[in-house]
Amino acid sequence: MEKLKILTYPDPFLKQKAQQVTKFDDSLKELAQAMAAAMYDNTGIGLAAPQVGHGLRLFVADVDFHGEDSGPKNPIAYCNPVIKNGQGRGMNEEGCLSVPEYRAEVERFERLTLEYQDLDGNQHSLEAEGLLAICIQHETDHLEGKLFIDYLPPLKRKMVQNRLKKLAREA
Ligand SMILES: [Zn+2]
């Protein structure tokens, strides 16, 4: 598969709700592999299919990755993720490959259960906390057409959106 291009705000595709994965075939595996490559290339820990122009309920994540010297890569693909049983609330700084040059504190569940399917369609249930729990909530939001900046207070959100639109025009 060709290198994937990461869409950035205000690309309207990022606002679309993604569709269930129903075909667990080779092209799905190729997409997940290309997404993992794009994630590592851009030093991200998670990437959702809508961010690369595919309207599928799929994301990849590797929260142990922090750049070149991270050691063995272990990307995991999550299909049709459903968050259950969120517990605790905490504020954490987040960034996003689709929101360049900006980070902000967002409130998220501290612990959750994730039900998802792997690339072969097998069902899994995962208990997550810490960075993985945050990453899962951030990426699952992408499948609903939601970005982390949507959680900002309205005035701040508007400011950030205007700055990002200006960045996009200049690109
Ligand atoms: Zn993101």
pLDDT 10s digits, 67-110: 878 888 999 999 999 999 999 999 999 999 999 999 999 999 99
Which tens digits make up the pLDDT trace of 131-166?
999 999 999 999 999 999 999 999 999 999 999 999
- Is residue 93 part of the annotated active site? The answer reads no
pLDDT of residue 70: 81
| pTM for this predicted structure | 0.96
What is the pLDDT at residue 67?
84
127 vs 166: CA distance, rounded Å: 40
Residues near ion ligand 1 (CB < 5 Å) are: 96
Alpha carbon of residue 64 to chain centroid: 15
Q: Does CATH place domain 12-87+108-146 in 3.40.47.10? A: no
Catalytic entry in 2, 30, 105, 139: 139
Measured in angstroms, how far is the CA atom of residue 85 from the centroid of ligand 1? 22
Q: For residues 137 and 133, give the distance between their C-alpha atoms in angstroms, rounded to a whole number.
A: 6
- How many whole angstroms from 120 Cα to the centroid of ligand 1? 24
Residue 111: both structure tokens together: 């612990």
- Secondary structure element (H or E) that encloses residue 44, with its range: none
Average of pLDDT values for 33-51? Answer: 96
Q: How far is the CA of 142 from the centre of ligand 1 (A)?
A: 7
